Amino acid sequence: MPHPASEPAPGTFERGLVLFIHEVHKVVGKSAARFEDAYRDGWMPTLAKGSEARLLWYFDLAHGSGLAYRVITVTAVEDGAAWARLAERLAGGDLQSWARHLDGLQHESHGRIMTPLEWSPSIGLLPEISGDPGVHEPTMYMEDTMWPHPGKVGEYIEKSGDVYRRSLGAEGSRMHMSIELSLQTVPGAGRYPEVTLLQKLSALPPLIHLLINDIPPEVTGPGSWMHEALELRDQWRSKLLRTAVWSPLQ
Amino acid sequence: MLFMHETHKVIGRHASAFEDLFRDEWMGALARGEGARLLWYLNHAMGSGPAYQVVTITAVSDGAAWEALARRTLAGDLSELASRLEACRYEVTGKMLAPVYWSALQKVDLAEMPADGREHELSVYMQDTGWPDAPLDDYIELWNHDYWQFMRKTPPDKKLLDIQACFQVAHGSGIRPEAILMQKIVNFSTLGGLLTNVEEYDPDTWPGSYMAKGLELRDQWESKLLRTSSWSPLW
């Protein structure tokens, strides 16, 4: 899908490939509030002092839909060199004490570094993302992570943009949901092949309908995306995520 | 310098094709660029864990070099070859590693790393991965003070392992807290003793003191016995 020449192409920035650090934190339950404080009062404003990294989303995995006390954070860095500088700050620089503090508030975190698919919507320019975003109504997301069959990742990425993304945006779409960011794992920093879609829900009733009803045959039958995409993948996982009220992106 | 650690879950019937592609094409293709070289190609020793698993470790000079390699792999001159490798495996799991401050291995001279598939003897590594329930920095310090400092002074005839590198996971590319030791096995009879004997450790003398102190920081780790291929650049 071509992009206007005046806009930055998804995944690119002035100097390189925008990278997204996606982390799933297994938080110590009794320290959950302090964990959130560490991100809101520490990580987010610290990154905002520079121009090459920003916290984008702070999500809680919705209780009742999966594992308890799981937080997902998504941090963007402007390119590989900026990521390496951030990693050095955490391993032995000015952010080492913050990382040590966080070690006491989480059992562990699982991170992966991702880059946008060619057809992904753009998050805009990093320096324009606030490190002091104020308070908003929380927003629900459905995060889908797929593992295409061996040798099929390229075709899956292409068709998920051509078919799935368009179907979400079509008039009469069952799910009131839009893809905010579509990512794949960068080789060497996570499982590959793996594709993740961050999808914002604009209304809850369609989600509830999806949860409590069987999927109708017209959605799963021959010719449908659900049916045809089985040639490309049959394993994925959905997570229902709720933004923190202070999350920079909602 | 950063080290890209990848665990490949290979499709068994394509195991030879996978290794051939790595040796005959991927290793040389990396060497045609300036910022990355394959260091180790290791087979998880059958009989000690999962079947058809390969571990590769690739050195990249810095974050920009890793990004350049990723660009080549995803949409550049390596993408077609990457697709053929992908067709030979179920999946690959990667993490970017940074050497800890006391690691013997900090940098490698990329230009000096052989990429021509020259053959040599096989060697076996014990790769230990530990997950502390204490701050990661404290665990890395324990390994330095109570393990590495003693192991390096062990007389050669009593040595089981040569600790060649110690890494931590670079931010956001894997699990935190996690640290990794790459240890070359230098005495296979001592390894046999380790596997077959129940050791009674005295907590007041090393190595019992290390085992006791270690439990204060972690009780979960995993050892993998990895055997180099006959052409692995490091072995």
- Residues 21-50 in A contacting B (C-alpha not used; CB under 8 Å): 21-23
CB atoms within 10 A of CB A121: 16
CB contact under 8 A, B87 and A193: no
Residue A247 lies in a domain: no
Q: Which has the closest alpha carbon to A77: B32, B8, B173, B158?
A: B173
Answer whether residue A13 shows pLDDT above 60.
no
Residue A198 lies in a domain: yes
CB contact under 8 A, B176 and A190: no
**Which residue in chain A is spatially nearest to B171 when comparing CA positions?**
A87
CB atoms within 10 A of CB A50: 16
Mean pLDDT within A114-141: 95
- Residues 111-130 in A contacting B (C-alpha not used; CB under 8 Å): 111-113, 115
Higher pLDDT, B201 or B95: B95
Pick the CATH number of B2-115 from 3.40.50.1980, 2.40.30.20, 3.40.640.10, 3.30.70.100: 3.30.70.100
Q: Are residues A34 and A119 in the same domain?
A: yes
**Which residue in chain B is spatially nearest to A87 when comparing CA positions?**
B171
Residue A124 lies in a domain: yes
Q: What would the CATH number be for the domain defined by B124-225? A: 3.30.70.100
Total structural domains in chain A?
Answer: 2
Residue A222 lies in a domain: yes
**Which residue in chain B is spatially nearest to A72 when comparing CA positions?**
B172
Single residue among A134, A161, A191 that ends a domain in this structure? A134
CB contact under 8 A, B176 and A111: yes
Q: Which two tokens stand for residue B7?
A: 């665990």
Q: Is the ipTM of this complex over 0.85?
A: yes
**Which residue in chain A is spatially nearest to B84 when comparing CA positions?**
A151
CATH no. for residue A156? 3.30.70.100
Residue A117 lies in a domain: yes
Predicted confidence (pLDDT) per residue in A68-120, tens digit: 999 999 999 999 999 999 999 999 999 999 999 999 999 999 999 999 999 99
pLDDT of residue A4: 41
CB contact under 8 A, A84 and B64: yes
0.90 cut: is pTM over it?
A: yes
How many Cβ pairs closer than 8 A exist between chain A and B? 145
Q: How far apart are CA A71 and CA A33, in angstroms?
A: 11
Answer whether residue A14 shows pLDDT above 50.
no
Element (H, E) at A241: strand A236-243
Sign of CA dihedral A201, A203, A208, A214: negative
> Which residue in B67, B101, B171 is closest to A80 by CB distance?
B67
Q: Are residues A109 and A215 in the same domain?
A: no
Minimal Cα–Cα distance from B200 to chain A, Å? 31
Q: Are residues A121 and A96 in the same domain?
A: yes
Minimal Cα–Cα distance from B96 to chain A, Å? 6
Mean pLDDT within A62-66: 93
CB contact under 8 A, A191 and B93: yes
CB contact under 8 A, A111 and B173: yes
- Residues 202-231 in A contacting B (C-alpha not used; CB under 8 Å): none
pLDDT of residue A16: 56
Contacts 24+ apart (CB under 8 A), B21-28: B21/B81, B21/B84, B21/B85, B21/B88, B22/B54, B22/B56, B22/B85, B23/B117, B23/B229, B23/B231, B24/B117, B25/B81, B26/B78, B26/B81, B26/B85, B27/B115, B27/B117, B27/B233, B28/B115, B28/B116
In A, which residues are within 8 Å of B177 by CB distance?
Answer: 103, 108
Answer whether residue A220 shows pLDDT above 90.
no
B232, B41 contact by CB (below 8 A): yes
A32, A69 contact by CB (below 8 A): yes
Answer whether residue A5 shows pLDDT above 70.
no
pLDDT of residue A170: 82
In B, which residues are within 8 Å of A187 by CB distance?
Answer: 4, 6, 69-70, 73-74, 82, 92, 94
Identity of the residue numbered A151: G
Predicted confidence (pLDDT) per residue in B141-171, tens digit: 999 999 999 999 999 888 999 999 999 999 9
Domain holding A168, by residue range, is 140-241
Answer whether residue A6 shows pLDDT above 70.
no
In B, which residues are within 8 Å of A110 by CB distance?
Answer: 174-175
Q: Are residues A181 and A93 in the same domain?
A: no
pLDDT of residue A9: 43
Residue A12 lies in a domain: no
Average pLDDT over chain B reads: 96
Higher pLDDT, A210 or B226: B226
A193 Cβ under 8 Å from any chain B Cβ: yes
CB contact under 8 A, B6 and A193: no
Answer whether residue B72 shows pLDDT above 80.
yes
pLDDT of residue A3: 41
CB contact under 8 A, A81 and B92: no
Average pLDDT over chain A reads: 91
Q: Which has the closest alpha carbon to B29: B66, B69, B2?
A: B69
Predicted confidence (pLDDT) per residue in B174-208, tens digit: 999 999 999 999 999 889 888 988 878 899 999 99
- Best of A35, A192, A236 to disrupt the B interface (most B CBs within 10 Å) is A192
What pLDDT band is residue B225 in, cutting at 50, 70 and 90? Answer: very high
A96 Cβ under 8 Å from any chain B Cβ: yes
Single residue among A113, A134, A155 that ends a domain in this structure? A134
**Which residue in chain B is spatially nearest to A75 when comparing CA positions?**
B172
